[in-house]
Structure 1
């Protein structure tokens, strides 16, 4: 018997009076007890806000990204223990790869994106500065800073590891502490993962707390700095949203809930097309993975009317090969539902579907279960329905049997298919299997507004496609309407759920200091030494080098044209150039100016500058003619440490002519030794 503890205020708390018993999905016997611990939720919130929050906010985005990577590595070395526990949830080894390895992989992705897309700073700049005055002495900047509250994560039973880590990754990266509430039925797996993370010593005190059991009055105590991120049923989400404190205090509420996801076999995907086989393979996988207990599972399979028979026959043939039983058995391809109670819920939903659809596969009365120590209490075989009149159907578009259950529906044309998809009232994902770009575009335009993700697969992408039911940390996971209206993950978009966007206004100096990024108009710093002779740490934001000037001659222009092969008429033909509304006559190549600029600011000797890695935001503002003179202003705009050996320096580069008019502007990126 596993005693599933909660973790609060820096210590573990054992189950107490009224604890719930947890049963194995495999054999139905008691395996754990959880809940009933005496927890003071106000103290937990105060601890997170006074200890965990400040500790996380002291770290930069890059510090927190490194922490996520280290956590992922730590868990990856210990995941076998999580596998061993998770079998009792009914999950197979392949299911573990989705949940446990998928969760660890999500940490890695957010760690990587945090290092690449966020600054090594405490403030995120949301877009460029806005000029709010004529001379530029008063400007505006949108920034984002961490919320100073707590993220309360309420997770579903089907993914006890991934469901937690996909929320924690953006939360910690934002700099916000979390209180995690897993579903009781699988909380013993979540608790084991939390123990690992805490034992790693990588998390600051107060950054993570765990509630196994009821949350009592926790939600009643939240305020406008807090966030609730929920995964589960629409009914529960509605109840939680109605908590008075959530409405009154405008508490952010992110929901990922019920979703009758659909999959469309394109009109071109005939049985002799590769797309037909791809669809059948993915549909069988989505019906059976996690015994169908996936919020992204395929529930409605939309098939062209003329293909409904071959599609049904192919699906039935594949589903007939699925072996069911003890997920620890090497020959088992589908395990059990989480519990006997969940089986009863699925059977009740199946009864509703049977009122308007014919069951074409799946016998609930006889099951051959693999494994000696296996009871049928939580097992359900794959069930396939066919609804021949989906336009008149009601239950097929609103009842989700959260198990290995799907319904075939015929459609007339792609417009009809979109209509049927949208009858689900909003989903997390819809998929389309087609090789016809016109079909794909039509589906996106008619159904995009109803789905959080549209997955299009065919012969070109199938080898590397991750699957209809695979939410990826790079992309948003959520959906409109029935699906809850939330957006989890989505790369840095997910981080923004736990941050406040603020418009700051002031002088360029103030904005530069707050954003840790120099902007034009802020003070410039001069040093006697050339900036290319100074190390990464020695360089100051705003440090500026002003070059000598160089005259551009007609010989320069013609030599560059012949040497590079760029003999565009604006550089070589005076009359043709004058006829162009953008040029006064023959002009210098833009890339010639960039080359001359490099010659004006580069320090040629070996030194801290290791490499030029590119340039961003290049703009040519005014033509340069023969006889004009150009000069360069080079300013340190931003510094980002990449490792112990070097960091990236972003330089603001401005080219001006003899009249001090700006002719070009860009940002130069170099890697500099520390």
Structure 2
């Protein structure tokens, strides 16, 4: 088989430097860590990392700045975010190119991620004038009771490689308008796009007169993240990553009575009913599995198909997977780019080996794609048919691997959907209103995101994003997610001129 021809690493390095130059980023050169591209699997630049000294200084500066930033009127805080959104619009192409270079996303997905940054900036600017409290009826005459929200403090953000810019922007834009300051520890696998985002936000602060200390970037490893987790000055830790990471972060933050917002693993399923529109189902399923090469927390991992339609759907599904163009994410016809590193490829191979030992059958995919770059990891998305129970299905494999199961009743299908430790996203494909309502009800999917006639991946910034169970329970982005970034006070004013106790208590 002919190897797929990939760009030379030198050419990719030049593209990265050109994007950074246009944004105004000065690369902190060093040899403590490396910016790497999964397109060829090779290093682009050596970088200076953030050690214990830089981490302490960033947290201290963020805490000091918070003491004044919290008194800035919220609409004025929104001015910084508005200007940041404008700068992202100006550098849309450069930011998208950096995401493709570092995360391996195809151009359309990278462009979409930057658009998500713009959307959340717009949302946060509007939010800056809508940080509403409420007035509550008091049982005591001549009393007014109200609920108000106040800035929380320093927000520590720990983000993952697969959405290196969007998830940071969800947290940061909302935190800033809520009056918090931010210290960001991005994935070590995506430092360049992180430097670019930090520079644009610094420009926005400069141009709007906001203090420079509202945001700090730390390019570091596990020790840097642990410092954020353990420091009492960090009021909220928002961490995106694996469930294993969350098991460490959550208890450590709780031990010091801090707050955590966890967005962890997903093992998402879609149910295909007998009434489903199979053309629509096919399109939605293919993207949900293969988008970002299966490296989304919302990627589709399990397809639960009714026995009456499985024999019609599976041949079409496998044929669609076999036609998916895999290769250079900069190429216009590519739909599946590289895995971030060889590690998820090995995890995918191991999962396929285990499931086939338990009787599963590989219908298509799973093989590594030959390329001109020996260190890169490209793989064909795989579909595996399962008849029976296998524990592998309950685990998340962060790669384009789809398990197909069958069911007879809707109750059985929902039980299969819910029978995993994770609880992020779920879908049902049906034209039956009753089935859709049951799936969305209290006896339906136990996930934070529930979809009807669309895939498990993809989210709009207006809705709160997050999941239940081992997904962590956190909510970022829209709806009332801003509550996580603020503290609540219930205040009572007595204007009656007399002391009155609640519950009709008399103490005279």
Normalising by the smaller structure, the TM-score range is 0.7 to 0.9
Alpha-carbon shift at residue 69 of structure 1 (Å): 2.3
Q: Supply the distance in 2 between the matched residues of 1:12 and 1:207 (Cα, whole angstroms).
A: 20
Residues 108-127 of structure 1 aligned to structure 2 (within 5 Å): 108-115=122-129, 117-118=130-131, 124-125=132-133, 127=134
CA shift, 1:503, in A, is: 0.9
Q: Which residue of 1 aligns with 2:465?
A: 477
Offset of 1:110 from its aligned partner? 2.5
Between the two proteins, the alignment pairs up a number of residues equal to 468
Cα contact 1:350–1:401 (8 A) shared by 2: no
Residue 96 of structure 1 corresponds to: 110
2:280 aligned residue: 278
Q: Tell me whether 1:60 sits opposite 2:57 in the alignment.
A: no
Correspondence 1:339-418 to 2 at 5 A? 339-356=341-358, 357-364=360-367, 367=369, 374-375=373-374, 377-389=376-388, 392-397=389-394, 399-418=395-414
Match of 1:430 in 2: 426
Q: Check whether the contact 2:89–2:118 (CA below 8 A) recurs between aligned residues.
A: yes
Corresponding residue of 1:638: none
Report the equivalent of 1:187: 191
Deviation readout 1:56-106 (Å, 9 max, x if unpaired): 323322223333222111111112112222222211111213322222222
CA distance in 2, matches of 1:423, 1:35: 45
Match of 1:142 in 2: 147
Aligned to 2:9: none
Query: Paired residue for 1:338, among 331, 340, 353?
Result: 340
SS in 2 for 1:227: strand
Where in structure 1 are there 5+ consecutive unaligned residues? 4-10, 119-123, 270-274, 458-464, 511-674
Q: Residues 70, 354 of structure 1: CA spacing in aligned structure 2 closer, same or farther, 3 A cutoff?
A: farther
Q: Is the 8 A contact 1:15 1:37 kept in 2?
A: no
Greater relative CO, 1 or 2 (CA 8 Å, sep 6+): 2
Selected match of 1:290 from 280, 292, 312: 292
Contact 2:27/2:47 (8 A) holds in 1? no
Question: How is 1:8-407 mapped onto 2 (pairs within 5 angstroms)?
Answer: 14=28, 19-34=32-47, 36-38=49-51, 39-51=53-65, 53-88=66-101, 89-115=103-129, 117-118=130-131, 124-125=132-133, 127-134=134-141, 137-147=142-152, 149-200=153-204, 201=206, 202=208, 203-214=210-221, 215-216=223-224, 218-219=227-228, 221-223=230-232, 226-243=235-252, 246-269=253-276, 275-356=277-358, 357-364=360-367, 367=369, 374-375=373-374, 377-389=376-388, 392-397=389-394, 399-407=395-403
CA distance in 1, matches of 2:312, 2:373: 35
The 8 Å contact of residues 55 and 204 in structure 1, kept in 2 or not, is answered as no
Residue of structure 1 in register with 2:492 after alignment: 505
Q: CA shift at 1:138, angstroms?
A: 1.8
Q: Shift of residue 333 of structure 1?
A: 1.5
Change (3 A) 1:353 1:229: farther
| Higher deviation after alignment, 337-346 or 275-284 | 337-346
Q: TM-score, normalised by structure 1?
A: 0.66
- Backbone CA RMSD of aligned residues: 2.5
Alpha-carbon distance between aligned partners in 2 of 1:337 and 1:66, rounded to the nearest angstrom: 38
Q: Secondary structure at the match of 2:171?
A: helix
* Deviation sequence 1:466-506 (CA, Å, 0-9, x none): x5311222112111112111111233x12110111111111
- For 2:444 and 2:235, how far apart are their aligned partners in 1? 31
More off after superposition, 186-195 vs 38-47: 38-47
| 1:376 positional shift | 6.7
Q: Once the two structures are superposed, what CA deviation does each residue of 1:90-140 show, in whole Å capped at 9, x if it has no partner?
A: 11111213322222222222223444x33xxxxx41x32322313xx2221
Residues 370, 378 of structure 2: 8 Å contact kept: no
CA distance in 2, matches of 1:209, 1:90: 26
CA 1:21 to 1:224, structure 2 compared with 1: closer, same or farther past 3 Å?
closer
Distance 2:157 2:193 in 1: 16
Aligned mates of 1:27, 1:225 — CA distance in 2: 38
SS in 2 for 1:50: helix
Take 1:97 and 1:83, find their aligned partners in 2: how far apart are those partners? 5
Report the CA distance shift for 1:12/1:495 in structure 2 as closer, same or farther (over 3 A).
farther
User: How far apart, CA to CA, are the structure 2 residues paired with 1:225 and 1:140?
Assistant: 30
Choose 343-352 or 78-87, whichever is displaced more.
Answer: 343-352
Question: Would the aligned equivalents of 2:242 and 2:264 in 1 still touch at CA under 8 Å?
Answer: yes
Asked if the contact 1:160/1:186 (under 8 Å) is kept, the reply is yes
**Residue 617 of structure 1 corresponds to which residue in structure 2?**
none
* 1:363, distance to aligned residue in structure 2 (A): 4.7
Q: Is the 8 A contact 1:157 1:186 kept in 2?
A: yes
Change (3 A) 1:277 1:376: farther
Deviation per residue, 1:612-661 (Å, 9 max, x gap): xxxxxxxxxxxxxxxxxxxxxxxxxxxxxxxxxxxxxxxxxxxxxxxxxx
1:189, CA displacement in angstroms?
Answer: 1.3
3-state SS, counterpart of residue 485 of structure 1: coil
Residue range with higher mean Cα deviation, 22-31 or 168-177? 22-31
- Work out the CA distance in 2 between the residues paired with 1:225 and 1:33: 29
SS at match of 1:145: strand
- Contact preservation (8 Å) 1:21, 1:32: yes
Is contact 1:425-1:450 (8 Å) kept? no
Distance change >3 Å, CA 331–CA 60, structure 1 → 2: same
User: CA-to-partner distance for each residue in 1:287-337, whole Å, 9 max, x for gaps?
Assistant: 111111111111111100121111111111211221111111122121101
1:336, 1:379 within 8 Å by CA — same for their partners in 2? yes
Q: 1:363 to 1:294 in 2, by over 3 A?
A: closer
Q: Give, in whole Å, the separation in 2 of the partners of 1:250 and 1:490.
A: 25
Q: 1:359 to 1:508 in 2, by over 3 A?
A: farther
